[in-house]
A = this chain, B = another copy of it.
């Protein structure tokens, strides 16, 4: 614990930050309200917030129709558009780019299908194209972006590479951070998709109230992201949550139970077989229900391992299959109960397939915040690496 000494300029910086924190996430506020929220006196807040306005971090909203007696107060608002961040999901089948302001409001979202077989260079070129489109639509340049976070499939090491394993063809040698660094001078972060989705569910999704979360990204592949004590846990080498690699955990073969269900029309594409099974189960099909039971039985072993290892409050079921959570959660819960000491809540994702990109946005915003805390508030500007 390295408590470091403080002088008065640092104190002012901290107080200015506390005003920023009091402004954000609230409707436009009067000086009095800010003073109460930040625990400072009115005159002090007045001076600080004026400085924030001058620097461009805040803006005044001239008083509207105030229905109370007395002199109407100026209301100050955090200038969320002072900076923007990008959250990018590079998936096997799609590329999703989100542009967000500093408060997390999405300015622009563009989704493009991707060729599952595309080589890394082609995939990254496609990403560049989507980014260009987003920036053009928003009238921005790369210099306006303060942080970029990219979600990819597979465990991500400290350099932003996925050297251990990934289903994206050729991707083990790819270096998306280096690729983006050529265009963006701001901090660039690459992160595993499951981890980002977990972050998103805690931010805006199904687990906003929980501090200990296991997120399952369930689809034709299965992965997990872990949030403990409110913070994403990556593990020493960035490979936390890769319980699916354990042979005793049948995550690799679990979705096969769905695809091998009797009755699937021969015309169904590989990705559609599972959806057919889920629909059939909803309609009461016995074979489909049995297939789901087999799927959840295999899935539950790995989930139980995570639950027993981490004792989370909530397990969020997300990913492509989460649309069919209505027919999966109950069987899964029953299977889990057989293994666990204490059963956590089991919830369905509310963010669907936008969770990865949303989590990327959140992590990029966190990066901006941590720069603010360490470097203080100079006039708003894109941080450099």
Whether A228 contacts B233 by the Cβ 8 Å rule is yes
Whether B247 contacts A339 by the Cβ 8 Å rule is yes
In the complex, given contacts A226-B310, A248-B301, what are 19 additional A-B residue pairs having Cβ atoms less than 8 angstroms apart?
Answer: A3-B17, A3-B18, A4-B18, A5-B14, A5-B39, A6-B18, A212-B236, A224-B309, A226-B309, A228-B233, A233-B310, A234-B311, A239-B308, A239-B342, A243-B308, A246-B305, A248-B305, A305-B305, A306-B309
A47 close to chain B: CB less than 8 A: no
Query: Copies per complex?
Result: 2
| Residues on A facing B (Cβ under 8 Å) | 1-8, 11, 14-15, 17-18, 21, 38-40, 44, 155, 164-165, 210-212, 224, 226, 228-229, 231, 233-249, 301, 304-306, 308-313, 339-342, 344, 369, 373
- In the assembled complex, the Cα of A7 lies from the Cα of B247 at a distance in Å of 57
Whether A341 contacts B239 by the Cβ 8 Å rule is yes
Question: CB-CB < 8 A to A7: which residues of B?
Answer: 40
Whether B4 contacts A235 by the Cβ 8 Å rule is no
Question: CB-CB < 8 A to A313: which residues of B?
Answer: 236-237
Question: CB-CB < 8 A to A373: which residues of B?
Answer: 3
Contact of A236 among B2, B8, B312 (CB under 8 A): B312
Whether B11 contacts A6 by the Cβ 8 Å rule is yes
Question: CB-CB < 8 A to A312: which residues of B?
Answer: 235-236
Nearest CB in chain B: distance from A170 CB, A: 19
Question: CB-CB < 8 A to A165: which residues of B?
Answer: 341
Whether B6 contacts A14 by the Cβ 8 Å rule is yes
Contact of A309 among B14, B212, B309, B342 (CB under 8 A): B309
Whether A39 contacts B4 by the Cβ 8 Å rule is yes
Question: CB-CB < 8 A to A1: which residues of B?
Answer: 21, 369
- In the assembled complex, the Cα of A243 lies from the Cα of B248 at a distance in Å of 14
User: Would you mind naming 17 contact pairs between A and B with Cβ atoms under 8 Å apart?
Assistant: A3-B373, A5-B14, A5-B39, A11-B11, A155-B311, A164-B342, A228-B228, A228-B233, A229-B231, A237-B311, A239-B311, A242-B309, A243-B308, A245-B340, A246-B301, A305-B309, A306-B309
Whether B248 contacts A341 by the Cβ 8 Å rule is no
Nearest CB in chain B: distance from A258 CB, A: 22
Question: CB-CB < 8 A to A344: which residues of B?
Answer: 236
Whether B246 contacts A339 by the Cβ 8 Å rule is yes
Question: CB-CB < 8 A to A237: which residues of B?
Answer: 311, 313, 342
